Chains A and B, each alone.
Chain A
Amino acid sequence: MLRVVKSELIRLRRPSFIVGGIGAMAAFGSIATVIGFAAAGKTGVGPGAYIPSEAALAASDGFAAGLMLAANLIGIIALSLWAIAVAADYSTGLIRLLAQAEPRRWRLLVGKVMALMLYTLVGTLAATVAAYVTALLCAPLFDVSTAAWGTDTLVTLAEAFRNLSLSAIVWGVIGLLIALLTRSSGVAIAAGVGYVVVFENMIVAVAQDGADWLLGSTLTALAAGGTPSIAFESALQLGAAYFVGSLVIALAVMHFREITY
């Protein structure tokens, strides 16, 4: 199994993944933090947009507020990158070489998931650090008190990193599944973004409270460490269910699908 992980990690070193993936996650962590400070306390900014209050920014975990704002964006980046990593194997024909070298395809898939999880952890760590550094720079610029910051900085950052990572990994495995089913990163990304931006909002508008278990709501709550409508533990369980369910379907597809392309 470690062979597969190592092999995948070598392929993930390509510039589009290092710069376009990890760099984009860090950039969104930073930009979202700036937006959070600039728009603090404003209301009516549009559906689905979480804007922290000034009091929230001044709280002991205020420096991590921007991450919550960026969580879905970082999730979409994770979904896209996981989808690209899978679809590229098919579009380049590399899957033929991989499956010939390692005919136990479940190993190929689980190894790829493990490598992408490691890669995602690096990306969310970069985003967490970028958000923290940006918050330190923004606080004096936007007159936000930092008196409460620093009491539990490491613990707060670690929790924010954990929550963001868990959320991004579930987003990622959804992207992997869609890309595996469609063999197209474009379709996977369009489906992921379209679902979050349009479709789930439509369902929420119709079902309202009954839609808490939906993917976007669940992962938003997971990234935020819980929301008023979904406790963190519930979000964690639902996130785990999405992860395991997606992985089981992906394993079945990988095992049974013939490589004819």
Chain B
Amino acid sequence: MSAIVTHGLTKRFGDLVAVDGLDLDIPQGGVVGFVGPNGSGKSTTIRMLLGLINPSAGTGEVLGTSISRPAAYAARVGALIESPSFVPSLSARANLSSLAALRGLPASRLAEVVETVGLAGREHDLVKTYSLGMKQRLAIAAALLPDPELLILDEPTNGLDPAGIVEVRTLLQELGTQGRTLLVSSHLLSEIQAACSRVVVVRFGEMLFSGPLTELMARTTALVSVAPERAQDLTRLAELYAARGWGLRKTNGDLMVEAPADAAPELNRIAAQGGITLRKLSAHEETLEDVFLEMTGAADGDNALFRSRQRGKPQPILSRHTAGSDKEADDA
């Protein structure tokens, strides 16, 4: 059984289509990253899954139950939605007690979740004295109260400093080993890469990718960054590489040649034969962030590359493919 399934899930706010026919199938178990640019429909999707808003069209199931009956699965789902939400003038324990009482949970559960998120000893402090990182951990504790089969965390690292991000990342990794399903929405792709085994990428309410993180990472391209000594040689250098069939991208006055690191001597030789002296020649490994930016079209310059790859149209000179990148286009 899947943890989450949606078919054509759609949400419109007037003329704005926040989620557009989203089809998801997230298997049970493991940590699933839910990524997309701001306004891509992640939070709206999560709210529909939790019964906070109603879909305009489409269907969905959470833990085998229709999202039209959220009361039937609420006890099996925990959630952190956007930001920690507590009464600041009450202690962390009182806030958790209130939520535990609402769910009919025993008081003994409080100590367990406080321990899990590392707030033991501070649970009697007022929430207004907490740092943002502590509030975030408290929010995760609240989500863990029902010992959920499905834990949905919307931007759990939002607003955290690097130390707080590391804390939450470690916590997510621990939670991911306990047999439950975690759906983690985040902008921080390094966190997704560090904590998630699967990933769902959305843009403008549409799903662009859903599958194992390794499959997404297989789309990364080895690049060699090249820059001529004289800036005016850049276009001619690009033409020389393109003539030899290398795929190219242009970034900030450099050329990114889609080539493995061991192609650097050949790239240097081509430049020299063309009478161009290089001031830079270095290998560069694409990250999940690079793949994400290409997929979502959020990066300047490279957007057209991904879109045209998707459509199979001829490429402009600065994004011509090698055989390897043609395979990527087929995969896409």
Contact = CB atoms under 8 A, between A and B. Distances in A.
B235 interface: no
A11 B53 contact: no
Interface residues of A, number: 28
B211 to A, nearest CB: 28
Contacts of B90: 10-11, 13-14
Interface in A45-88: 88
A98 interface: yes
A92 B99 contact: no
B89 A100 contact: no
A7 B54 contact: no
A101 B98 CA distance: 11
Given A3-B104, A6-B101, A7-B102, A99 B86 contact: no
Contacts of A96: 52, 79, 81-82, 85
B87 A3 contact: no
A97 B142 contact: yes
B99 A97 contact: yes
Interface in B44-64: 47, 50-54
A197 B86 CA distance: 34
A199 B36 CA distance: 51
Contacts of B54: 258
Nearest to A4: B102
Interface residues of B, number: 33
B71 interface: yes
B103 A259 contact: no
Contacts of B83: 93
B97 interface: yes
Interface string B76-97: 0101011111111110001101
B82 A103 contact: no
Contacts of A8: 98
B298 interface: no
Contacts, number: 89
A145 interface: no
Nearest to A104: B71
A151 interface: no
Contacts of B98: 7-8, 10-11
B82 A101 contact: no
Contacts of B50: 100
Contacts of A15: 89
A111 to B, nearest CB: 9
A94 B85 contact: yes
B85 A260 contact: no
A93 to B, nearest CB: 4
A152 interface: no
Contact of B102 (A3, A14, A258): A3
Contact of B88 (A92, A100, A260): A92
Contact of A101 (B47, B74, B89): B74
A182 interface: no
Contacts of A258: 47, 52-54
B47 A260 contact: yes
B99 A100 contact: no
Nearest to A99: B52
B40 to A, nearest CB: 16
Contact of A92 (B85, B101, B146): B85
A100 B102 contact: no
A7 B87 contact: no
Given A14-B87, A14-B90, A3 B71 contact: no
Interface SS of chain A: helix, strand, loop or mixed? Answer: helix
A16 interface: yes
B102 A103 contact: no
A102 interface: yes
B70 interface: yes
A254 to B, nearest CB: 12
A103 B50 CA distance: 8
Contact of A10 (B47, B97, B103): B97
A16 B90 CA distance: 10
Given A16-B89, A92-B86, A101 B99 contact: yes
B152 to A, nearest CB: 9
B86 to A, nearest CB: 7
B52 to A, nearest CB: 4
Interface string B1-18: 000000000000100000
Contacts of A16: 89
Nearest to B88: A92
A3 B101 contact: yes
Interface string A86-127: 001000111111111111100000000000000000000000
Interface string B92-126: 00110111011110000000000000000000000
A156 B288 CA distance: 75
A88 B87 CA distance: 8
Nearest to A256: B54
A102 B74 contact: yes
Interface of A: 3-4, 6-8, 10-11, 13-16, 88, 92-104, 258-260
12 contacts: A6-B101, A6-B102, A8-B98, A10-B94, A11-B90, A11-B94, A93-B85, A100-B51, A101-B146, A102-B71, A258-B52, A259-B52
7 residue pairs, one from A and one from B, having the closest CB atoms: A93-B85, A7-B102, A103-B70, A259-B52, A258-B53, A10-B98, A7-B101
